[in-house]
Amino acid sequence: MNFKEVLLVVNPISGNTDKKGIISEVQKELEMHDIGFHQYTTTGENDREEIKSIIDKKNIDRVIVAGGDGTINLVAKVVKKYNFPIGIIPAGSANGLAVNLKLPDELSEQIETAMGDNHIDLDILCLNNIICLHMSDLGINAELIKNYETSSIRGKFGYLIQSIPTLIQSEFPFKFKIETENCSKNASAVLLGFANASKYGTGANVNPKGEPNDGIFEILIFKKLSLSDILKTLRNETDPDPDFVEIIPAKKAKVTCVKPVSFQVDGEYIGKESEIEIKILPEKLRIAIP
């Protein structure tokens, strides 16, 4: 192992699960290899500043994140300036990035991967100056996340409960103008996705050709809510019907909304937006993979 000091960043609320088992296993493994163990528990406030300060003061040379996509995104904002990889112990409600990176299900294998030498240099999308590692979207999914964040029930069940009022209240379809380096078009959609990977955290394979390290992102125009097509994506069928989802690869793009539309990045609700500028940052994020 070519690192000496590890910071474990733990989100205590993510996925509505207790993280004591993860913390003790990571600590045990590091002690066995004579590697320094440091822990930071997120509070939801000033986490970036606190993490940066620990990395600098303790000469941290690997960060392991135990949380969901929102926590990984938070850590990425700090760590992308440093040269070491981050390891991921998936511990969120829907671990979209972990699903796409095919991280193992067993904690012992997750720890082994997080401390291993294999890595991927992940593209980092930037949407209106907000970084995205996995999936962002405008429309009904962001409305669902907004309703989830204001409710008291966490975890997957919380999302399920919010899906019905979200469907009833939503004013879809939303109208957009999409401009990329290659095309300009108007679109009407239930959801307009910006994908740096192929799957949502549910495992729905909505962007079968998407790779997280190819220097390209995909704009996904979901034209209708179709249960049969959603089930096909969940069954991992890799040939989506163009009447359900149209996919536009791009290196940069601008999307203008006819009316402001709810917007989310890596599972965090941002707000209602009228215009989104999307590009890929020149720097990459190094993540340990199996």
Ligand X SMILES: Nc1ncnc2c1ncn2[C@@H]1O[C@H](COP(=O)(O)OP(=O)(O)OP(=O)(O)O)[C@@H](O)[C@H]1O
210 binds ligand X (CB under 6 A): no
- The residue (of 151 and 238) whose beta carbon lies closer to ligand X is 151
Write out the binding residues for ligand X, residues 44-103 only, by CB under 6 A: 44, 67-71, 92-93
Residue carrying the six token digits 């040379």: 61
Say whether 5 sits in a helix, a strand or coil.
strand
- The residue (of 51 and 124) whose beta carbon lies closer to ligand X is 51
151 binds ligand X (CB under 6 A): no
274 binds ligand X (CB under 6 A): no
The C-alpha angle 95, 150, 42, rounded to 5 degrees, equals 55
- Paired with 131 in beta bridges are 126
137 binds ligand X (CB under 6 A): no
- What binding mask, one character per residue, do residues 27-46 give for ligand X by CB under 6 A, x or -? ---------------xxx--
| Cβ at position 274, least distance to ligand X in Å | 23
267 binds ligand X (CB under 6 A): yes
| Cβ at position 163, least distance to ligand X in Å | 14
* Count of residues near ligand X by CB under 6 A: 18
Among 287, 257, 281, smallest CA distance to 271 is for: 257
**DSSP 8-state assignment for residue 212:** T
Task: Quote the tokens at residue 149.
Answer: 């964040």
11 binds ligand X (CB under 6 A): yes
- Strands 285-288, 130-132: pairing is unpaired
Q: 168 phi and psi, to 5 degrees?
A: -70, -40
CA dist 41 → 46, 47, 155, 219 (Å)? 12, 9, 19, 35
- The residue (of 150 and 228) whose beta carbon lies closer to ligand X is 150
Binding site for ligand X (CB under 6 A): 11-15, 42-44, 67-71, 92-93, 154, 267-268
